Amino acid sequence: MNKPVRVGLVGAGAIAGAHVEAAARLSEVVVTAIADPRRDAAEAMAARAKGKAFTSHADPDFASRTDLAIIATPPALHAAIALELIGAGVGVMVEKPFTLSPDEARQVVEAAAERGVPAVMASKFRYSADVQATRGLIESGRLGHIEATEVTFSGVLDPTGTWRADPAQAGGGVIADNGPHVADLVRYLLGPVDAVRATAPSADRRERSASLELRCGEVTARAALSWDERLGDPYLRVVGTEAGLELDWPGGRIIGQGGGRPFGAGYDKLAALGANLMDVARSLREGRPPQATGLDAVGSVDVLTGLYASLRDGRWVELLSPVGSQP
């Protein structure tokens, strides 16, 4: 039997804790190392995971204990940390946004390809069972021709005193925070994004709410983002010529001419994180691309960059070379 893939965490914040909890459910991975400059935080999470605490991912012992590192630091640090770990032969799964520029994203993915290790963005929504079933319905044609797609990610969040309040660290406001999830979800369901547009009350990368449009061929997906209020369910709506589909957090429904019927089991964050981690770990072991590839990570950064260019210039921004969603 193969030994478990050894997983290290860089960063010991809330999302890192969720990754640790998801990993604990899996038999094919084991968390062996936690690195965070806050020694107390690293030691507390390492005790939880039964791994070793480090104050820096650059400690050679961190890499020697790690096959795959989950990078869960402020986004401005993502590219540099990923490149250092890839250079040590460690695969990386990077929290969103993958990097803060397309050039950085391509550099990371190319470096990983040269070393033969994965470099991907953590893409939990495409690993949700309900979202995967939705893609199956779209591909089967059961919804008919897709006419519209809407995504809503919202809730009350006060970033004051955290890295999210600093665009230099976060890359922006709510668009940088939730835009990568929108981009990856839309690309997973509809394919490459050709052009984007964003509007928000603020254009200084401190936006707390925003409206997004992502054009995928003949279909334009729309998204509403907010840190100021909960905009309500569903978080995903797909409208086709034959039927529609809505996904709420507790569950969803297919809507047709005869009314609605239940669909899916609801969003399970830990299950989605675990499925994502398992896929990347198996790809590392088997030498194959994971479902969410490095090209998908680059595509997400391209979309994010285009959204901020649109917000700045007040226009649609064409993505001249949209990256496909398949390896």
Helix-helix angle 129-140:174-190, to 10 degrees: 40
Q: Is the pLDDT of residue 274 over 90?
A: yes
Q: Is the pLDDT of residue 220 over 80?
A: yes
pLDDT average, residue stretch 61-87: 98
pLDDT tens digits for range 284-321: 999 999 999 999 999 999 999 999 999 999 999 999 76
How many CB atoms are located within 10 Å of the residue 107 CB? 17
Q: Which helix (H) or strand (E) holds 151?
A: strand 146-154
Residue 233, pLDDT score: 84
Q: Is the pLDDT of residue 270 over 90?
A: yes
- Whether residue 74 contacts residue 95, with contact meaning beta carbons closer than 8 Å, is answered with no
**Furthest CA-CA distance within the chain:** 62
Residue 327, pLDDT score: 31
Split at pLDDT 50, 70, 90, the class of 202 is confident
CA distance 300 to 187: 8
pLDDT tens digits for range 278-288: 999 999 999 99
Token pair for 61? 């012992």
**How large a percentage of the chain has pLDDT more than 70?**
97
Token pair for 31? 């968390």
How far CA 144 is from CA of 137, 243, 250, in Å, comes to 9, 7, 25
Residue 321, pLDDT score: 67
pLDDT average, residue stretch 11-19: 97
pLDDT tens digits for range 116-173: 999 999 999 999 999 999 999 999 999 999 999 999 999 999 999 999 999 999 999 9
Helix-helix angle 102-115:78-87, to 10 degrees: 10
pTM score of the predicted model: 0.95
How many CB atoms are located within 10 Å of the residue 288 CB? 11
- Type of residue numbered 248: D
pLDDT average, residue stretch 185-198: 97
- Whether residue 201 contacts residue 231, with contact meaning beta carbons closer than 8 Å, is answered with no
Q: Is the pLDDT of residue 85 over 60?
A: yes
Residue 257, pLDDT score: 65
Q: Is the pLDDT of residue 273 over 50?
A: yes
Residue 326, pLDDT score: 40
Q: Is the pLDDT of residue 322 over 90?
A: no
